[in-house]
Amino acid sequence: MSVMYDRLIHWLVSSLELETTLFHVGQYCGSWRASTAGRSKASFHLVLDGKCYLHIPDRAPIPLEAQDAVFSAAGFAAFSQPL
């Protein structure tokens, strides 16, 4: 990465005023579905262990696995489900 790119990223991230709330940390098995849609806030999902699919309307499911992260804008209608 170039120094200019690093400075641009630093400026962008440091200018954000982030406020977070932990909604849920869970360990799932069997049939489940996780979503933050309808909460009118940006959100993130971190896959800490195992595998799942990210479902987005009108798109093929996206496989996720440990160490993957999904960041979404407010009102993003998506959900996670087991493989």
Residues whose CB is less than 8 angstroms from the CB of residue 81 and which lie 6 or more positions away in sequence, other chains included: 32, 33, 34, 52, 53, 55, 61
> In this predicted model, what pLDDT tens digit does every residue of 43-82 receive, in sequence order?
777 888 889 888 888 899 999 999 898 888 776 777 777 7
**Cα gap 15→60, rounded to integer Å:** 35
Whether 70 maps to a domain, the answer reads yes
Whether 6 maps to a domain, the answer reads no
Q: Is the pLDDT of residue 16 over 80?
A: no
**Cα gap 28→7, rounded to integer Å:** 40
Whether 26 maps to a domain, the answer reads yes
Whether 33 maps to a domain, the answer reads yes
Residue 56 domain boundaries = 20-82
Q: By mean pLDDT, which of 20-24, 33-37, 53-57 is the weakest?
A: 20-24
Whether 51 maps to a domain, the answer reads yes
Report the pLDDT averaged over residues 11-36. Answer: 74
Whether 11 maps to a domain, the answer reads no
Residue for token pair 């098995």: 29
Q: How distant is the alpha carbon of residue 26 from its chain centre?
A: 15
Q: Structural domain tally of the chain?
A: 1
